[in-house]
Every structure is written in structure tokens, then in C-alpha cells.
Amino acid sequence: MAAPHAAVGVEGGSSEPGVILSDSSAADTKRPQFGTRFLTDPRQVFQHNAWDNVEWTEEQETAAKKKVSENSQPLPTEKQEEYDSRANEYWNDFYTIHENRFFKDRHWLFTEFPELAPRCSLNHESHPGVCGTDDVQQNGLDEEQCSEAASLPHTDGDFPGSSATYRILEVGCGVGNTVFPILKTNNDPGLFVYCCDFSSTAVELVKTNPEYDPGRCFAFVHDLSDVEANYPIPSGSLDVIVLIFVLSALHPNKMQASISRLASLLKPGGVILLRDYGRYDMAQLRFKKGRCLSENFYVRGDGTRVYFFTQDELHELFVGAGLEKVQNLVDRRLQVNRGKQLTMYRVWIQCKYRRALVQPSTEPNRSGFD
């Protein structure tokens, strides 16, 4: 595999710098560039905690491929089935142990995903006159599309957040490190945020957080991989769906159906925002033998699972769900432990995919619950 396009960013932590993201499309390269710390002299590598826009050498990529190949012998089928059937138990144990001490709020989200603090809403009742060129470029909609989306009939009814004019769903919310920054940063009175997690323990931690406001947020337990399970919101009702390091926890065979199910919840013009593990991330290379479930899919020591994506794999999943590409970028960073004189190469992928706008006359009736 060719070395991914260079980029930079990091999960979690309020001290994170901005990022540079690169892609082959002209539209993506026009976005503002925030990361500016480049390693031009290797002798200076331990002068800072992280470096932006890191390119891999051919030797590094060859070594990464070799490492993955050496540890690619899958576990017996019965062990794989056990990890699949007990996934809920493992995640509940994870959050019982760590509660909210293990995590940091993801304030970098608003740099990478301005849709979470929108200035150009699909419904302009709470965002009058703010559909400017810069706003719509970041949200993936041009001025004409914003106007068209606002004129489309939106679902209403008796469900949590039914009166909201801008609805966000985070899938795999954990203890709320994305949800609570959104609620604190976006004071739009028309905003309503839904959040769900496979783990009932995690959802309970969200609900008992002092910042949880049931008037602006609804947390619920949901298994993303169970496409027959109902969401508490109708199809065609969401402006944004957020997937932050969550799709990788699913079995690869269940990913397409799960993304297609989520896509059906989007309004025309609505977007799915994703950030997840990329192929040859440091975490993948650290797995020992006996942890591989299938190609690029592993089980951690605590029983939770993780997959490492390529850009093409994610593109196929989203396009297979009928969505249009807005952004698909590799995010690459060199992190440094100056105390131990260690270097760590992280690889993440960041995506935005949009549901196409349609004419009202061709829009199917989505007023019922799923």
C-alpha cells in the first residue's frame, strides 16, 4: 500500500493543536490549515511533544507491513465468536473500571468538524442570514443547497427533540467527551443532541453527569451493529451523525449494514462525521501474536475489539450507503515522549459524507418511526 497522504491531529485532550489535513481533491486542500509544526531537522525531534504532517519513509512502511503480517494468524473461530457474543460485557467492564477518569473532552472537534457548532443550519429559523460562503464550504453545502435544504419538509412528531431545528446524534458516546463539549460550545436554542452507546454503564455515566440536560440531550443504550434495533428518532430527521473511534469496534461484516442504517436517519443534506483508526497506526503495530481476529481486526487485552481502516474501505462503506463524499483524509502525526526518548507514529482517518439533496416531490414519506 502506498504511504497515505500526510496530515496531523490527535484524539482527545484540550491541549491539542490544530491540524493539517491533505487530500488529492482540490476542494479539500482549500480548507484552512492549522498545524504548523514541521520536523525539518531530525536532530530536533525531541524538542516538542508532537510534529505535524509527517511523511513515512519506504523503509518504515515496509517494516509496518512486515509487523502486521507476522501477527496476522487469526484466533480459532470459537474464540472469535466468544468475543463477539460478549462484546457488551467487555465494554461495560471497561467503563466500570475507568468511569470518567480515563478520558478527556475532545475540544479539537470544532476545528475539524465545524458542523458541530453550525453557523449554516439546514433550518434557518435559529440561524437567520448566516449562510455565507465560508460557512457552507466547511459544511459541504453551497448557498443554493442551503436554501433548498431549508425549504424541504422536516419530520416532526412526538419524540425527544421533535421541536428542535438542528439535531445531532453521536453513536458510541462513551462517557460524554464529545456530547458535553458540543452542549457547552453550541448555545443554539434550536439544538438537540442525541447520544447512544453499546454500554449501559457508559450511558448511565452520561445521564448522571451534572452537565447532562434532558431538555437539550437524550442519552440511550443502543447496539450499532443491530440493524433491527429501533432508534428513538424517525428516519430523515438528523442534521449530523458523529462516529468518533466507534465504527472500528464493530465486526467488519456488520459495518456496511450499520452505516446504511445510520444514513437513513439523515435529512437531505445531512452529514456523517467520522474519525477512526488508520492502517498501520501505532496501536496496530503494538499487537502481539494471538490477538488477531481477522485481517486488520484485533482484540485488546480487555476483550474490546478494534479494526484499522484504509481510506478506500471507508469510502466504499459510505458510498454503499448512498452517501456523497465531502472529505476523506489521512491524519498522520509523530508523537514524542521526551522523557523516555520515544517516538510514536499515529495514523487516523477523518471522513465527511453527505446525504444527497432531493426535490420534495421525490422525497419518500419518513414521518414514521423505525
* Residue 87: how many other CB atoms lie within 10 Å: 21
> In whole angstroms, what is the distance from residue 166 CA to residue 188 CA?
9
Q: What is the mean pLDDT of residues 103-114?
A: 73
What pLDDT, on a 0 to 100 scale, did the predictor assign at position 207?
Answer: 95
Residue 179 phi/psi, 5-degree rounding, is -60, -50
Please give the model's pTM, rounded to 2 decimal places.
Answer: 0.76
**Amino acid present at 240:** V
Query: Which CATH superfamily is 43-109+161-355 part of?
Result: Vaccinia Virus protein VP39 (3.40.50.150)
Please give the pLDDT value at position 52: 66
Q: How far is CA 69 from CA 38, 72, 245, in A?
A: 31, 5, 24
**Residue of 232, 79, 253 lying closest to 167 (CA atoms):** 232
Residue 345 and residue 335: Cα distance in Å, rounded? Answer: 6
**What is the mean predicted confidence (pLDDT) over 265-275?**
96
pLDDT of residue 130: 31
Among 20-34, 147-161, 274-288, 331-345, the range of highest mean pLDDT: 274-288
Q: How confident is the model at residue 105 (pLDDT cuts 50, 70, 90)?
A: low
Task: Tell me the pLDDT tens digit for each residue of 137-189.
Answer: 444 444 444 444 444 444 446 889 999 999 999 999 988 989 999 998 888 89
- Pairing state of beta strands 266-277 and 342-355? antiparallel
pLDDT in tens, 181-222: 999 888 889 999 999 998 899 899 999 999 999 999 999 999
C-alpha cell at 22: 491533505
- Spatial strand order of the sheet with 292-294 comes to 292-294, 297-299, 305-307
Give the DSSP per-residue string, 141-173: --HHHHHHHHHS----SSSTTTT-SEEEEEES-
What's the longest Cα–Cα distance across the chain? 63
Distance CA 355, CA 268 (A): 5
**Closest C-alpha to 252, from 206, 310, 196, 306:** 306
Least confident of 19-23, 35-39, 239-243: 19-23
* Distance of alpha carbon 235 from alpha carbon 215, whole angstroms: 21
Nearest CA among 274, 344, 338, 257 for reference residue 309: 274
